Structure 1
Amino acid sequence: MGTKMVYKHLATLYFVFVFDSSENELAMLDLVQVFVETLDRCFKNVCELDIVFNFNKLHTILDEMISGDRLEKQSSSTSFIPKSITERFTR
């Protein structure tokens, strides 16, 4: 088994996800979209500086979205934005 990569270019940022070849590429693209929407809510329109200076927060957000190599909640991108994440980082 090999690895696959998907990327998405949004505004001035590129988001790249590398994953096992057994995973669905479209599901990973959806995960990228959900991740970016969550970052937008947490940082009020995410930019390069948010990523550089808040790298630990990005890891925490992604860790809450993926737990034990599985997505915590598989649903449309608009319904999956945990309040615990946004409340913690928007203060």
Structure 2
Amino acid sequence: MTRVLFWLALALLVYFAIRSKLKQSQRRQQQLWEQQREQQQREQQRQSAQREVVRAEPMLRCAQCGVHFPASENVPVGGRDYCSPAHAPVK
């Protein structure tokens, strides 16, 4: 009878040891996955911040009305910048 109890106790010990190792491995994998996810999020944030900087366009001030407007909408006349053809002097 004692041999049966010994083998039963040994089997339970092995079972719980394997179970403990598997849980530990799963926790480690979960932590690695979370770290990779955080790193990807930081990389995406960095890339989006760089894109925003690239998208920024210089602003100019209209010589007529003083309104600031994007440089792509500039109407240059006589070395001065205007926000629209209506504000630019006719030559």
TM-score (norm 2): 0.23
Q: Return the structure number with greater helix share.
A: 2
TM-score (norm 1): 0.23
Q: Return the structure number with greater strand share.
A: 1
Which structure has the higher relative contact order (CA within 8 Å, separation 6+)?
1
